[in-house]
Amino acid sequence: MATTPDDVRRALEAAPERRIDRTHAHEAARYLSRSLALFAGYLLLDGASFLFWVDPVPVKPWNPQVGLAVALLCAAGLRFAPAVFAGALASEILLRSPGHPAAVQVVCALALTIAMIAIAFALRRRGFPRVLGTVRSTRDFFAIAAAGALLSSFAYVSTSLAVTGAPFDALWSSVLHKWLGDALGMVGATPLTLLAVSPRGFRAPEMPRSTLAFDLAVFAVSLLIVLAVVFGSGPIRGERLFYLLFLPLIVIAVRRGLAGAAVGIAATQVAIIVALRIDQRTIEDATGYQIMMLALGATTLLLGAVAGERRRTQLELERRSAELRAQQQALADAMRVAAASETASTLAHEMSQPLSAIGTYARAGVEMLRRGTASPDELNNVLQRIVAESARTRETVQRIRDFFRTGVIHREPVEVRRLASDVEGAMRDRLRAEGIAFGVDVPERIAQVDVDRVQVGTVLHNLVGNAADAVAGAPAPRWIRIAARERGPHVEIDVIDSGPGIEPGMREALFEPLATTKPTGMGLGLAIARTLVTAHGGRLELAHLHPTTFRFTLPIHGSDEP
């Protein structure tokens, strides 16, 4: 049967609807699979750690399922709360209170689920899992975990006692045991799970991979050795030797950062629970190790965060150093190119007139000799003129040294604070050594300027360097300040110092090439700076003699000014 244009049109209109249906089906399947994984993980962890419990409420020394649920609710969203509730309810039915009425099991599971949702919501409000790994986020995690464990413990224990009709005599004892178990479960499972599901997670740059297998092998062997010593020494002596567990955990935390600390804590907790079970210890022994493990886990996590942040700071410092070296190289290359170009153009301009005069005198002398009419005095006069012009040319060449021009301007929007920050970073060591205070007075919301960052950085660096030279020999207090403000289509930038000031007689000649007030100065810095600022469509001037204030303007990005 032939296909009509109407059939084609209907097929094209139906195609987007089919794509949407397939997308919805895919999302639903993925949500269902993740929910089932969360449900199974919750039930599996609760069952695997259900080794010791305290009557009348079935609470135990370690609750990793709470840490898993909180982490996944925080990372994947609160829409997985039904899966958490299903896991908690299944745990009540199969493990904790199999003989209780269904209503009691539902209420207890609901109370625990609400508490876990509240903990996950608090973590998301603090930026988790995006901020995971910093010292500040680790501190926030400890506070939320402690408060959340107390909330979940009180909610679960009080609800369980209320709905079962049990006496409340054991309320606070059960709440304490449940609080320790939930806190230890979150310390052991939540950071590890967040790292596992995070896009960067274990691939963060602060975790080198070159020695990963070696580090893990050393940690595993040392952990087994320490556990053998601790549990082979008996209950009392073993508790006294528990501090030896700090050694392998500190090493893995320092070597691998927060990720290493999270893996080490989880592995150590599993090993301790297994060792307690194999050694047939009592709930009292488990509780004692539980308290020590909580302190050990918190310390290790904080140490891992410190090590990771130190590594990130080091990487950022290396990156900024490489960027600064690249900028300095680009600036040096630009200066060399500008120097050659400016020297060539200046020489051509300055030497054209004396060379032309020398040629004219030489041709006149040749013509006089050809005609034979030249007297010795006339030839001597022509030669003296040639000598004088040659001497002037030689003096001009000697006077023209490294004179730069702007070249091509690569304009881009730049923050004024960034320009000031770059100068401060480059001059920091010198200013500190000479006891010079450096200040920046730039409004937070000042407009961006449309400039070549390298060239304007050269201007600021030159002005701040001159200010540092002037302030270095001045009495205290010695300071330099950069201030900025908007003026119409421009931004005005001032470089102010507390030096002795500039003599009024130097004001006019200050920006001339080779004009300088320093004994060893070349007199090119301010001339170069004015050339660069002028090329950007601004102006550079000496605004005040004392305190010395150099002011230049730059066009605001997006303005009509060039």
Is the confidence at residue 466, as pLDDT, over 60? yes
Across 431-451, average pLDDT: 85
Provide the pLDDT for residue 442. Answer: 86
349 confidence band (pLDDT: 50, 70, 90)? very low
Q: Which residue has the higher pLDDT, 45 or 212?
A: 45
Provide the pLDDT for residue 33. Answer: 87
Q: Which residue has the higher pLDDT, 257 or 375?
A: 257
Provide the pLDDT for residue 206. Answer: 55
Residue partners of 439: CB distance under 8 A and separation at least 6: 479, 480, 481, 482
Provide the pLDDT for residue 328. Answer: 76
Q: Which candidate, 215, 230, 323, places its Cα nearest to that of 261? A: 215
> What whole-number distance in Å separates Cα of residue 200 and Cα of residue 189?
18
Provide the pLDDT for residue 13. Answer: 56
Q: Which residue has the higher pLDDT, 494 or 561?
A: 494
Across 125-152, average pLDDT: 86
Most confident of 86-90, 157-161, 380-384: 86-90
Q: Which residue has the higher pLDDT, 558 or 514?
A: 558
Tell me: cis bond preceding 477? Omega within 30 of 0 counts: yes
CB of 82 closer than 8 Å to CB of 95? no
350 confidence band (pLDDT: 50, 70, 90)? very low
Provide the pLDDT for residue 520. Answer: 43
Provide the pLDDT for residue 231. Answer: 76
Across 390-417, average pLDDT: 60
Query: Structure pTM?
Result: 0.55
Provide the pLDDT for residue 165. Answer: 74
Q: Which residue has the higher pLDDT, 133 or 513?
A: 133
Across 269-286, average pLDDT: 77
The domains located in the chain, with CATH, are 38-202 (1.10.1760), 324-399 (1.10.287), 412-555 (3.30.565.10)
Q: Which residue has the higher pLDDT, 142 or 99?
A: 142
Is the confidence at residue 542, as pLDDT, over 80? yes
Q: Which of 48-62, 207-221, 314-328 has the least mean pLDDT?
A: 48-62
Provide the pLDDT for residue 268. Answer: 86
- CB count within 10 Å of CB 539 equals 14
Output the CA–CA distances (angstroms, integers) from residue 543 to 82, 325, 495, 539, in the order listed. Answer: 70, 33, 10, 11
Provide the pLDDT for residue 155. Answer: 85
Q: Which of 10-19, 248-257, 315-324 has the least mean pLDDT?
A: 10-19
Provide the pLDDT for residue 200. Answer: 65
Provide the pLDDT for residue 20. Answer: 57
Across 22-39, average pLDDT: 82
Question: Within 49-97, where are the H helices?
Answer: 64-76, 81-91
> What whole-number distance in Å separates Cα of residue 460 and Cα of residue 536?
14
Provide the pLDDT for residue 402. Answer: 35
Across 109-124, average pLDDT: 89
Most confident of 112-116, 177-181, 203-207: 112-116
> What whole-number distance in Å separates Cα of residue 160 and Cα of residue 166?
8
What mean pLDDT value characterizes the chain?
77
SS3 482: strand
SS3 429: helix
Provide the pLDDT for residue 519. Answer: 45
